[in-house]
Structure 1
Amino acid sequence: MSKIEHPDNHYTQQVKQLIELVYPKEAGRGSVCEDARHYYILTPDLEDHINELQGKLKAVANPDKQPAVVEQLTKKLKSAQAKLESERLERLERLQSVAHRLLALCEGDTYEETQLLSAKFLGTVMLLTRGPEGKFAQLHQRLKPLYKAVLALRLSDKALEHDYISHPYLTARKAALTRFKGNRAWQERWQNEVAMPIIWCALLQDIGLQSYEARAILHGPDNNLDEFRVLENDQRKQLLKINFSSTLNYLKNGLGLPAYVGNDKAERDAFIASHTATMEFMQALMKDAFISKSGLGEILKIPQIYVSVVLSTKPDYSRKSLPKGYLLIEQLAKKGALHNKLAEAFIGIVGYFPLGFGITYIPQTERGFDREGYECAIVTRLNPEHPAEPICRPVTRNLTYIRSGSDETVGRNVNLFFPANRKKLMKMGEDRLKEIMSQLSGNFTPDAIDDLIPSFWEPADYFAYKNNQNLWNRGR
């Protein structure tokens, strides 16, 4: 039997599978999103049924003389309660499984490995979208939760390291950073007590939009409206309130605490106390992400604002606007709307150019002189030394696509995203520029072709080939 070739490498397949487990392309598949929709739409009927059975039991005038009636009602009640609890635990189990799978893809044993794997995950997600083509808004909506979760994890590490947030729950777990030095005990505690709740909150931050009330606003009473349209101000405010209350309801009641398995009372009490503290932390994190009072919620809010730009669902979405994601964070921090130190740390993590962004640049000789022409690269690393100088993987050499190489820092003085550098190439002449464009045809946006000197390129076609997906296969 011949081996079937997969269109993607193993890592990309895993990322796509995880996206399906969070926000599937088609309805009817088991996922975090579908679980929430089921809870909002169907669980109230089950709860009403339970209340009705409890009422009937209480209304039995003389239970001793009606044992058959009591037995039948009790049996139905226990069955309904068991179904309610079973569905809740299934939702918890799925969310926990998704979080574990995400950690396996973005977390390593050391700080360096964790940064590389996180960059690999974020870059892969970005390279799965082709920009403003087709139903890009639906795709971006599905990509946002996981992308945001990884950014929130990396920002929380910075918050712990520098004590940016004075919250007792986080302060008591600052030693979690020793996991990068081989502390296995804290590695487990960090995963269970810090990473899992942050991932859950990032994935569920807008889960209230799956509620019946929210969907009625987004899709209209006849389900014929574009959910990505610009809402009227009153509708937008109403939607924010619904999302806030419905999300907290889902976190507290739709999920709740995991079930303890065992017979040891002391162990059980410790289990409940630990998970209660984590639940309280998640509720505080989620609430503050909506109302911004203590600064805690900015672990979620800053990545959310950033993702709203780089994975925008707005009709005017353009790849050229992706580097403006950091700018919005920077401006809000200057206005006092965001925690200045956290915003600064976040920009230091992502830089000006998002992971997976297509960079065009002027190559230089060994002596530092500009060559004639330009090459293409893809942003592949977090934490650039200078935010404006991304760490990239060059994917062309002499205008020919290559599949191997090492990461390089693209200096501000050669990056064609900056207008001053594009002016350097104008002396080459239109014919030479058209010749270069023809060699790399199909990878540039129409406006870039009109300009002849592209300020960026679209790497989705390049990344679509399995053999081109090993952009993180070597160290710097």
Structure 2
Amino acid sequence: MTQGNIGKSNYSKAIWSLISRIYDNTSVADSVYEQASAYFIQSAAQQAQKTELEQQVFLFQNRQQQVSQRDMALVERNLQQAQSEQQSFQKTRDEEAAKRMSVLKQLCVDILQLIQADSAEETTILSAKALGTIQLLCPTQGKHVAPTNQRCKHLYKALLALRLLDKLLADNEINNSYVQQRLTACKGMSMLQADYHPFRDDVQIPLIMAALLQDIGSCHPDAQLILKGPDGTADEFRVLDNDERIALLQISFREGLKYVTQGLGLDKYAGNSRDERELHLKREAERQNFVLFLLKNAVKPEHGIGNLLKIPQIYTSVVLSTKSNYSYDALPKVALVLEKGVEKGVYSKVAVEALLAITGVFPQGYGVTYIPKDSDRQDLDRYEYAIVTGLYPADIRQPICRMVTRNLTYNVSAQGCIISVDNNLYYPTARKKLERISEERLLEILSKLVSNFEERKNMPLLPRCWYPEEYFSYVKNQNLWNKVVINNN
């Protein structure tokens, strides 16, 4: 496979930059999760300091009632100094919280701008591109799968939550008064041009925020103690026993809500108008309440708005799994996981069906192997490679793909195709069609499609999927979402 230079396109760099701004591990420690981790570590000491300052003020206020007139001036000076120290301490904490909120809000704005367009069609393409790029930037095998998926899952989940919101609104399945009021208020407004857009600023951005913050409580030292053990050497991606899992969920939920109200607070108003300031603070309080409402309702959403977080969370936990039994081949089973949850009454049927109508069975960026047809619509005696690149498939089992190979040759300018169940090697019916082909022919096909044939000739001769990680590592192969003619296969 000779495809030019290895690296990241400008778009792939933009996606990776967003991921790094959410979750990273650097000396600068400026990502959202690093900031939260630092806050949690410092908050215990800061709380003790805050209590001490409050006690000092209380002490001198009491002394005012007890000392003689001669000593009153000294007590009042001490009281003023204690109050000044208390105010200075609180001002510093408020500024730190405002800075964290400002960083988070700008990140949410940038995420929305990346995938939002004036038309629904273009928004869908941009969303597919972002989701597919995240998947294709993640390794499919080896020791880096879990840590990379851990970094990427927050952005992936936020993107799914936005599209699920659109779908449920289109289907008239969201009756939340706050959302409906904001939706009504923005009729006729351009989301991309308005300085204040009720739906964008009061619904979409808080939803992104909630998706990014859903696991923020896991940064708390008590949660990290469970994940990494007392000496910090335990495998944080191991399967926890039931008591550990419940304790972790409780800590993460409790501390996550605290972080929203105390670690972030409300975004500050910049201006001189009293009326504007009051309106700004009112909107900020309402947005914060909406974030908290989403996070609380995601625990047991039933048929409520909490499904905007819950169902994308389940989907992402399978597609970008951090478990040791992660298997790229099995990613399409995410649909079965969700459908079984519906059967058991654990997940909302409406929300699951809506999400699967968006994603289909095959995740964006997934490598599909399929049997092509000739000009007479007859099956050929080989399989080819394609990558899932489209949302909203007409049939959730028939992915919208970009053809990557043609005549067993990698072809950057290839067309798009909708791959039928009968010709998709993920399904047994398609693999059965090629069972009559000789082993020599199947080895010949494999030798033309893989770059390290000697290492990989023991791969299944009828592969259920292929691994596009190497293909996508070449810069020239990273624009899979430009418009192409779509054929049925």
TM (normalized to structure 1)?
Answer: 0.93
1:156 corresponds to which residue? 165
Aligned AA (1:160): L
Q: CA contact under 8 A between 1:109 and 1:180: conserved in structure 2?
A: no
1:144 corresponds to which residue? 153
Deviation at 1:447, TM superposition (A): 9.1
Structure 1 residues 294 and 454: alpha-carbon distance in aligned structure 2, compared to 1, 3 A threshold: closer
Q: What pairs up with 1:235-246 in 2 under 5 angstroms?
A: 235-246=244-255
Runs of 5+ consecutive residues of structure 1 not aligned to the other structure: none
Q: What pairs up with 1:147-296 in 2 under 5 angstroms?
A: 147-175=156-184, 188-293=197-302, 295-296=304-305
C-alpha separation between the residues in 1 aligned to 2:452 and 2:128?
A: 23
Aligned AA (1:336): G
C-alpha separation between the residues in 2 aligned to 1:142 and 1:114?
A: 24
1:400 corresponds to which residue? 409
Q: CA contact under 8 A between 2:98 and 2:267: conserved in structure 1?
A: yes
Deviation at 1:73, TM superposition (A): 3.3
Structure 1 residues 300 and 164: alpha-carbon distance in aligned structure 2, compared to 1, 3 A threshold: same
Q: Indicate which of 355, 372, 397 corresponds to 2:381.
A: 372
Secondary structure at the aligned position of 1:380 is classed as: strand
Deviation at 1:27, TM superposition (A): 5.7
Q: CA contact under 8 A between 2:446 and 2:457: conserved in structure 1?
A: no
Deviation at 1:437, TM superposition (A): 0.8
Secondary structure at the aligned position of 1:426 is classed as: coil
C-alpha separation between the residues in 1 aligned to 2:171 and 2:303?
A: 17
2:478 corresponds to which residue? 469
Deviation at 1:472, TM superposition (A): 1.0
C-alpha separation between the residues in 2 aligned to 1:324 and 1:280?
A: 35
Q: CA contact under 8 A between 1:380 and 1:471: conserved in structure 2?
A: yes
Q: CA contact under 8 A between 1:178 and 1:186: conserved in structure 2?
A: no
Aligned AA (1:421): A
TM (normalized to structure 2)?
Answer: 0.91
- How many residues get paired? 472
1:329 corresponds to which residue? 338
Structure 1 residues 395 and 175: alpha-carbon distance in aligned structure 2, compared to 1, 3 A threshold: farther
Aligned AA (1:157): D
Deviation at 1:76, TM superposition (A): 3.0
Q: CA contact under 8 A between 2:311 and 2:352: conserved in structure 1?
A: yes
Secondary structure at the aligned position of 2:101 is classed as: helix
Runs of 4+ with deviation above 6 angstroms: 179-183, 443-448
Q: CA contact under 8 A between 1:448 and 1:454: conserved in structure 2?
A: no
C-alpha separation between the residues in 2 aligned to 1:250 and 1:359?
A: 42
Deviation at 1:448, TM superposition (A): 8.9
CA deviations 1:224-280 (Å, max 9, x no partner) are: 111111111111111111111111111111112111233333322222222222222
Higher CA-based Rg: 2
Identity %: 39
* More relative contact order, 1 or 2 (CA 8 Å, 6+ apart): 2
Structure 1 residues 20 and 305: alpha-carbon distance in aligned structure 2, compared to 1, 3 A threshold: same
CA deviations 1:95-123 (Å, max 9, x no partner) are: 11111111122111110010000000000
C-alpha separation between the residues in 1 aligned to 2:186 and 2:199?
A: 8
Secondary structure at the aligned position of 1:154 is classed as: helix
Deviation at 1:328, TM superposition (A): 1.2
CA deviations 1:203-234 (Å, max 9, x no partner) are: 01011100011111111111111111111111
Secondary structure at the aligned position of 2:422 is classed as: coil
1:54 corresponds to which residue? 54
Q: CA contact under 8 A between 1:445 and 1:457: conserved in structure 2?
A: no
C-alpha separation between the residues in 1 aligned to 2:140 and 2:200?
A: 34
Structure 1 residues 135 and 183: alpha-carbon distance in aligned structure 2, compared to 1, 3 A threshold: closer
